[in-house]
Amino acid sequence: MTSKFDDMDWHLGGDDFPDDLPEEAAATHIGMYFTWLVERGLVGEDLVREHGAALDQVRSGQLRGSGFIVDQCDGQLLAQYLTEVGAAFTEHVYDSYLEEYGNWGDPNVNIYALPDNDETYSEVQDLLDSRFAEWDPS
């Protein structure tokens, strides 16, 4: 199994990341995915023990998932942060999530420029709920 699913540094160093965006924009898509994991109870016990209050803020919308990923996880989404089911699902779906992320909007908009807001998250939530319902972990 993959131990590191994503890292904002991978995106910051890429040709597609616009120079005029803040570095945190490289974590928006990771944070959206992470928020979904938090809301579905797919975050591991160790992370909950260490950062329970901040995870509650993610769950309630007081803290963006991207902020949590940047501040608490060094911009990385790691398997060790997830439950067994969360890691298995992420292993299965994350590459296709990256391909589909942002495809619901204007094709001329760079995915890193998508706003880190409830509207974008709603699209991510619908996408991941659908993929999770279709997923057969066996």
- Report residue 15's pLDDT band, with 50, 70 and 90 as the boundaries: confident
Q: Is the pTM of this model over 0.85?
A: yes
Q: What is the pLDDT of residues 55-91, one digit of tens each?
A: 999 999 999 999 999 999 999 999 999 999 999 999 9
For β-strands 76-78 and 4-7, DSSP reports them as: antiparallel
Angle between helices 118-134 and 84-100 (to 10 degrees): 120
Domain ranges of the chain: 23-132
CB 104 within 8 A of CB 115: no
Quick: pLDDT tens for 115-133: 999 999 999 999 999 999 9
